[in-house]
Amino acid sequence: MTTALLLAHPNLAASRANRALLSGLDDLPGLEIVDLYAAYPDEKIDLSAERDRLLRADRLVLQFPMFWYSTPPLLKRWQDVVLTPLIYLEPNTASLLKGLPVMAATTTGGPAASYRQTGMSIEELFAPLKATARKARWEWQTPFALHDVRALDDEAMSAASQNFRSAVLSMPTRSVVARRLAPSAT
């Protein structure tokens, strides 16, 4: 059982929150992490490698720091490069990915209250990701969000990393979703 995690952090060396979340996934069986900014410093995303990664995945996690209420640009580019041909030109491959559970996991500088002031929840802010998941016929999961990261002490950060681990472990897998989507035999 493979959990693919696409990490999009342009400066992981300086990260505290995203590194803490990743540390919560230590020893997770079948975890395959790709650090997109390290793998593609020239932003030339390898379509074939990324397509194969998706095909190996039983569930997919998109992890990134919130940048202007959205994803860092390389994750958007990953969507452009990988999903555009997959969905529009490779329907047979895309159908193999039907029901892939996908969860967005983000860290934010702003506290939860500041998001209430915007009038939009994380779920609403991620509407383009959710719509994209639906277009791909993947199964969108409730996003994971760690807010106000600068205010979190080491203990709170460690608790958050364990919560993240639980959220990933409680995602369904593609085969579970496929069984749910299959027409009933009766």
Ligand X SMILES: Cc1cc2nc3c(=O)[nH]c(=O)nc-3n(C[C@H](O)[C@H](O)[C@H](O)COP(=O)(O)O)c2cc1C
- Which residues contact ligand X by CB under 6 A? 9, 15-18, 65-69, 107-110, 149
- For tokens 């995945």, what's the residue? 57
Which residues, 6+ apart, have CB-to-CB distance to 57 below 8 Å? 2, 3, 4, 32, 100, 174
Q: Is 108 exposed, middle or buried (0-12, 13-18, 19+ CB in 10 A)?
A: buried
Phi-psi region of 150 (alpha: psi -120 to 50; beta: other; left: phi over 0): alpha
Residue 16 or 134 with smaller CB distance to ligand X: 16
Please name every residue paired with 139 in a beta bridge, in sequence order, or none if there are none: 101
Residue 112 or 181 with smaller CB distance to ligand X: 112
Least CB distance to ligand X at residue 68 (A): 5
Residue 65 or 99 with smaller CB distance to ligand X: 65
Residue 101 or 143 with smaller CB distance to ligand X: 143
What is the rounded CA–CA span in Å between residue 97 and residue 90? 11
Residue 54 or 146 with smaller CB distance to ligand X: 146
Least CB distance to ligand X at residue 17 (A): 4
Report whether 32 contacts 2 (CB < 8 A): yes
Least CB distance to ligand X at residue 118 (A): 9
Least CB distance to ligand X at residue 108 (A): 3
Closest CA to 65 of 121, 22, 7: 7
Least CB distance to ligand X at residue 48 (A): 29
